[in-house]
Amino acid sequence: MHPIIAEDYDTLSRIAADIVSDLVRTHPRASLIAPTGETPLGLYRALAARRRRGEFDASYLRVVQLDDYLGLDDDDPRSLYRWMKTAFLDPLSVPDAHVIRLRGNTPDPDAACRAYEATVRAAGGIDLAVLGLGPNGHLGFNEPPIGPDAPTRRVALTPASVESNARYWGGRDRVPTAALTAGMDVLLAARQTLLVVSGAHKRAILHRTVEGPIGPDVPASYLQQANNVTILADKAAWGE
């Protein structure tokens, strides 16, 4: 694990944009996991600004969806695909055909998860997984306790995740309680991982991730054993 400590959130977002830009410059057809949530929004804004200045071109990028709530249509305001489209795909003009979907609005979730894993494998795996850190150490919706081999699957959200997502949708009862998530198997096999972490409220879980025991209680702790992992945190999250 390679830590980078940024002075503040804007610096963190700029450094993250440098890492994504470098990859896309050298591998225009790279496959990238782009999470939803609040932490990567500064990164996405920075990339969109670079695109407007002609400094970033995502025309060939392949984007892999990380997770979605189960049972929501794409136009539901709570759909994570819609979030990704608004925050990332549209501002960067990523064609729909370049997105590997994990569809929440599927009649057969198990088949959708198997198809996703097969499509990611056929695409050659993940070149860069950009990930956020859940307040309970989750990656995607891989909630604790979980092992490193857990496949892409349907999950029930823990009360901690429902609570943390309530702020997006205006209350706990607006948060769906089931989701589909890329498996730990997919995430830990990425050739490169960038974990972005911002804010003092993430400090305790960040330190358990980086230097705590590796195990099911903190899913992100398995990143200690993965290849080529950068932990990009602002000072508020990292501490002194």
67 in active site? yes
| The one segment of 33-41, 53-61, 184-192, 215-223 that binds ligand F6R by CB under 6 A | 33-41
List the one residue from 19, 23, 63, 66 that touches ligand F6R (CB under 6 A). Answer: 66
Shortest approach of ligand F6R to residue 60 CB, angstroms? 23
Report the residue closest to ligand F6R, judged by CB. Answer: 132
List the one residue from 140, 176, 183, 219 that touches ligand F6R (CB under 6 A). Answer: 140
How many CB atoms neighbour CB 41 within 10 A?
15
138 in active site? yes
When asked if residue 67 is in the footprint of ligand F6R (CB under 6 A), the reply is yes
Contact characters 95-134, ligand F6R, x per CB under 6 A: -------------------------------------xxx
142 in active site? no
List the one residue from 13, 21, 39, 106 that touches ligand F6R (CB under 6 A). Answer: 39
| Catalytic center residues | 67, 136, 138, 143
Residues near ligand F6R (CB under 6 A) are 35-39, 66-67, 80, 132-134, 138-141
